Amino acid sequence: MNLSFFDQFTSPHLLGIPLILLSMLFPALLLPSPGNRWITNRLSTLQSWCVDLITKQLMTPLNKNGHKWALILTSLMILLLSINLLGLLPYTFTPTTQLSMNMALAFPLWLATLLTGLRNQPSASLGHLLPEGTPTPLIPALILIETTSLLIRPLALGVRLTANLTAGHLLIQLISTASTALLSIMPAISILTTIILLLLTILEVAVAMIQAYVFVLLLSLYLQENI
């Protein structure tokens, strides 16, 4: 029984096609069709407003040199947001619950921000490893601690996203299983559990959006340190 709780983290297939691929085609149906005008209806207006809001939030802490990353960071934000929300649909799969995928996103982007800093301002980037005014006896220990803190950043990014989404999905399945099991025994408790499940689902939608934002925001802050 315990193993079945983790079955949701395996991608379901229909006729050999992963259902997550079919669900990821759904946002493409919402894209406005090309025409003579940029904005053709209220849906395209809402999409443009959301993209503009996301871009402003991510680019505000950065200087002009960091604005070159606007397309990458905004696209990553929309990708994570779409995957996290689509993973809440029934009979789908959330790829961001897999640490391998999150690390594949976090490590190259973190390394790109680090190499950008080492190329453009090597002295300032290396200066983060040793705070100003450090006593001489503490210099080796602080350099080791700051280096470890720097190298663990991509792992923290990937694990944070994986753990939060995995915990939410498991909790939803546990409560839904309990609600179904109690329906014939204690209907009142089952109804109360269902209400809690609905509230938890709303919370999980918020967590899916917040975790996508936090992932990209931390990358933008790492970029800010190196430009």
pLDDT in tens, 22-55: 767 776 666 666 666 666 677 777 878 888 888 8
* pLDDT value for 6: 60
From the CB of residue 120, how many other CB atoms can be counted at a distance below 10 Å?
12
Task: Quickly state the pLDDT bin for 3 (edges 50, 70, 90).
Answer: very low
Q: Is residue 196 part of a domain?
A: yes
* 103-109 long-range Cβ contacts below 8 angstroms, 24+ apart: 103/154, 103/155, 103/158, 105/76, 105/80, 105/158, 105/215, 106/154, 106/155, 106/157, 106/158, 106/215, 106/219, 107/154, 107/158, 109/72, 109/76, 109/219
154-171 pLDDT per residue, tens? 999 999 999 999 888 888
Q: Which amino acid is at 115?
A: L
Q: Per the domain annotation, does 105 fall within a domain?
A: yes
In a domain, 6, yes or no: no
User: How does strand 13-14 pair with strand 17-18?
Assistant: antiparallel
Q: Is residue 141 part of a domain?
A: yes
Q: In this structure, is residue 13 part of a structural domain?
A: no
pLDDT reported for residue 2: 46
pTM for the model stands at 0.81
Is residue 73 in some structural domain? yes
In-domain check, residue 23: yes
Choose the weakest-confidence range: 25-29, 68-72, 134-138, 159-163. 25-29
- Provide the residue range defining the domain that includes 50: 18-30+40-226
Q: Which residue has the higher pLDDT, 160 or 133?
A: 160
Asked whether residue 12 is domain-assigned, the answer is no
Give me the mean pLDDT over the 100-115 stretch. Answer: 91
Domains of the chain: total: 1
